Structure formats: structure tokens, C-alpha cells
């Protein structure tokens, strides 16, 4: 194991750097030495080390400055950083640890202490890497499963009914039925593509431009909620779900992107209707003043969400009991809602009880724009 690990030592004292090299190379590590922070940054750019051991008091760029540069680069965030210095004052040690360095050794030190620090940081980094890989693989599997299911279903509609149309000999009623099925499949496919593209634009920061250009002062909450409920009325009626609204008094005008907020509310109401499995039920949109801003709550009487699932509800591709609740969709809707609220500088939360329903709360702050 040790021979595969690369360590970058940043030390301006030639004798000290030589001693550290001898000890760590004898332990089987690959060593590179830089004599100040600027040399270290060049070395890291050429080949990322597994651990950085750095002095603090150095010419041109000191250890604190080097640490800040390393942590400012997203590609280097996971590199363990050990401060090795003659600065033994408690304030200096606290500063190094407050900045986020993984360890802090004070000269003069025992060589074994250095080896222990390096080994422990390498072991910790490897454990975190394994956990991250497991989480990444799980995310990949969720994405693949989502894409496989969500795209295959509408594509099956389109290809299946296209084949039937090509066979001919259809009555006018059959033709109309098949065309409706084709339209349904193509619309669902289009929505999926739009959702994924919108999610990417939110996570990549591209939606910020649209938000900045199109936000405006807004106060017509009754009109906005009515539009959302109207779009969900047919689906709600089919599931025996009553849609209602409550608009409180003295709601202050705020600046927002009306289209984005309409999209977020539509997704929450749609979820409320969709997860009311055994109607009759109700989905209610309430708007009120809170802390100088506006709070919007969407309350449903659906299946509810277990407490263990709540912390991850607004992450991308999160789905609950996919095999049981096939109608839940692609798992990006709540991530999009959070992205929209984040653009507005607001907060989003959920309270839920299994078997009783959920309350999704959006808070939009005052003073936007």
C-alpha cells in the first residue's frame, strides 16, 4: 500500500526537507519536495498528491496561503493537509485547525508522530473515497433505473401504436384512440426531457441568468394559485381530490420569477394529487405573510413520507418505494423545486406523517431585487 501513495512536502528548510524525505521514503512513500507555496501549487497541478505536508513560515507564499489556494480548487478539496511548523502557540494551532487542516504537528517532533499522522490521514482519505464511490455508484444506478423506466414507458406507447397504425384497417374510433395514446406518450417524453434540461440548468447555474432578467415585483397570489389549480383540476377530479386555496391578509409584494414559482407550485400540487391514492382527499395551497416575506404551503392528505426519507427528499433522483408507487415519476421534481427556491434566496421544507399526508413549505424572502 505505501509505495503507491504520493506525498508532497512543502518546506523551505533544506535540511528539514531532506530529513522528512528520508523518513517517509524509508517507509515506502513516493516523495516530492517544494520549497514554498508557489512551487507547491505547480507540483500539485502536475500530479495531485495523496497527502500534503507543509511548513507555515515560508517565503513568497506561506502555508496558510497555500492551504487556502488548495481548498479553493474543487479538484483538490479531498487532499489531506498536514501543517508541520515551529509555530507552537495555541492560537496558531487553533487557526490551522479552524481553517480545516487535517492535522498539525509542531517542531521539534518525533519522526514516528509524522508517520502516524500520514498513515492515519491516508487511511481516512481512502475510507472517504470508498464511501464516495459507493454513493456515486448508487446515484448512477438510480439515474439508470429512472431513465430506463421513465423513457421506456412513453417510447413503448409511441412505437407500439405507430406499429398498429401502420397495419391499417382501423375504425375512426380506433384511429382517434391510437392518436391520443401517441400524443400522451410524446407529451410525457417531452416533459421528461424538459425536466432533465431544467434540472441541469439549475445545477449548472444557467437558470440564474433567466431569473435575473425576468424577475419582477409580484403580488397576485390568488391569480397565480388559481392558474396552478386549474391545470391540475382534471387530474384531481379523476382521483376524487378536492383542490382549494387560502390567501392570507397583508401579504407583501416581493420580487420573483413568476414562471419559476408557478412551475414549483404546479409540481407540489401535482405530487399531492398523485400521492392521494385512496381518495377522496384534499390538496390545499395556502399563502401567508411570514418574517416580512411570503410563505406558501401545499398540504395534502396522501400517503405521507417516512421520517428516514425526509432528509433526502430534495435531492435529485430520490424515489420512495419505486416498485410500490410506480406513478411517482422521475425523482427530479422536488430537486427542481428546491433549485427554484434557492434562486430566490428562500427556503423549502417538508413535514410529513405516514398515512396522513405532507406539508411542503416554501418561504420567499423580502427585499429581492
DSSP string, 137-205: HHHHHHHHHHHHHHHHHHHHHHHHHHHHHHH----HHHHHHHHHHHHHHHHHHHHHHHHHHHHHHHHTT
Note the pLDDT of residue 198.
84
Note the pLDDT of residue 4.
66
Note the pLDDT of residue 1.
40
How far is residue 182 from each of residues 156, 162, 167, measured CA to CA in Å?
A: 10, 8, 15
What span, in angstroms and rounded, lies between the C-alpha atoms of 263 and 271? 12
Note the pLDDT of residue 147.
65
What span, in angstroms and rounded, lies between the C-alpha atoms of 140 and 148? 12
Query: pLDDT under 70 in the chain at which residues?
Result: 1-4, 87-90, 92-93, 96-97, 131-154, 157, 316-331, 367-369
End-to-end CA separation in angstroms for the chain: 55
The per-residue pLDDT for range 124-183, each reduced to its tens digit, is: 777 777 766 666 666 566 666 666 666 666 677 677 777 777 777 777 887 787 777 777
Note every long-range contact of 350-355, with CB atoms under 8 Å and residues 24 or more positions apart, other chains counting. Answer: 350/305, 350/310, 350/313, 352/304, 352/305, 352/307, 352/310, 353/304, 354/303, 354/304, 354/305, 354/306, 355/303, 355/304
CATH class of 2-109: alpha beta
Q: Do the two domains 2-109 and 135-204 of this chain adopt the same fold?
A: no
Dihedral Cα 343, 362, 240, 231, nearest 10 deg: -30
Note the pLDDT of residue 5.
84
Q: Does domain 135-204 have CATH number 1.10.287.130?
A: yes
Note the pLDDT of residue 227.
97
For domain 214-364, the CATH architecture is: 2-Layer Sandwich (3.30)
What span, in angstroms and rounded, lies between the C-alpha atoms of 242 and 229? 10
3-state secondary structure of 275: coil
Task: Sketch the domain layout of the chain as residue ranges.
Answer: 2-109, 135-204, 214-364
The per-residue pLDDT for range 94-115, each reduced to its tens digit, is: 776 677 777 788 887 788 888 8
Note the pLDDT of residue 142.
63
Note the pLDDT of residue 145.
66
pTM for this predicted structure: 0.57
Note the pLDDT of residue 182.
76
Amino acid at each position: 500500500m505505501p509505495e503507491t501513495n504520493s506525498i508532497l512536502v512543502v518546506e523551505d528548510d533544506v535540511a528539514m526537507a531532506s530529513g522528512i524525505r528520508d523518513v517517509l521514503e524509508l517507509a515506502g512513500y513516493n516523495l516530492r519536495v517544494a520549497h514554498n507555496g508557489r512551487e507547491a501549487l505547480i507540483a500539485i497541478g502536475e500530479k495531485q498528491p495523496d497527502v500534503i505536508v507543509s511548513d507555515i513560515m515560508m517565503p513568497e507564499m506561506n502555508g496558510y496561503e497555500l492551504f487556502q489556494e488548495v481548498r479553493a480548487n474543487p479538484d483538490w478539496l479531498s487532499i489531506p493537509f498536514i501543517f508541520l511548523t515551529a509555530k507552537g502557540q495555541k492560537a496558531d494551532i487553533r487557526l490551522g485547525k479552524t481553517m480545516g487542516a487535517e492535522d498539525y504537528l509542531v517542531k521539534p517532533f518525533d519522526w514516528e508522530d509524522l508517520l502516524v499522522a500520514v498513515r492515519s490521514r491516508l487511511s481516512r482519505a481512502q475510507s472517504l473515497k470508498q464511501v464516495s464511490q459507493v454513493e456515486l455508484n448508487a446515484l448512477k444506478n438510480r439515474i439508470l433505473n429512472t431513465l430506463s423506466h421513465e423513457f421506456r414507458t412513453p417510447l413503448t406507447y409511441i412505437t407500439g401504436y405507430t406499429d398498429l397504425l401502420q397495419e391499417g384497417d382501423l375504425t375512426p374510433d380506433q384511429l382517434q384512440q391510437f392518436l391520443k395514446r401517441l400524443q400522451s406518450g410524446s407529451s410525457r417524453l417531452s416533459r421528461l426531457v424538459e425536466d432533465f434540461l431544467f434540472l441541469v440548468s439549475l445545477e449548472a447555474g444557467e437558470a440564474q441568468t433567466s431569473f435575473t432578467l425576468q424577475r419582477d415585483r409580484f403580488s397576485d397570489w390568488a391569480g397565480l394559485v388559481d392558474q396552478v389549480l386549474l391545470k391540475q383540476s382534471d387530474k384531481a377530479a379523476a382521483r376524487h381530490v378536492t383542490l382549494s386555496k387560502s390567501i392570507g391578509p397583508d401579504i407583501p409584494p416581493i420580487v420573483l420569477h413568476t414562471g419559476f414559482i408557478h412551475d414549483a407550485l404546479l409540481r407540489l400540487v401535482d405530487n399531492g394529487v398523485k400521492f392521494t391514492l385512496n381518495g377522496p382527499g384534499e390538496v390545499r395551497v395556502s399563502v401567508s405573510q411570514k418574517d416580512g416575506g411570503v410563505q406558501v404551503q401545499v398540504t395534502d392528505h396522501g400517503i405521507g413520507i417516512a421520517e428516514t426519507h425526509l432528509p433526502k427528499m430534495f435531492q435529485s433522483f430520490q424515489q420512495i418505494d419505486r416498485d410500490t408507487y410506480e406513478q411517482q415519476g422521475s425523482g427530479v421534481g422536488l430537486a427542481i423545486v428546491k433549485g427554484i427556491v434557492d434562486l430566490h434566496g428562500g427556503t423549502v421544507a417538508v413535514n410529513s406523517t405516514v398515512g396522513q399526508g405532507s406539508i411542503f413549505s416554501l418561504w420567499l424572502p423580502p427585499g429581492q431585487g
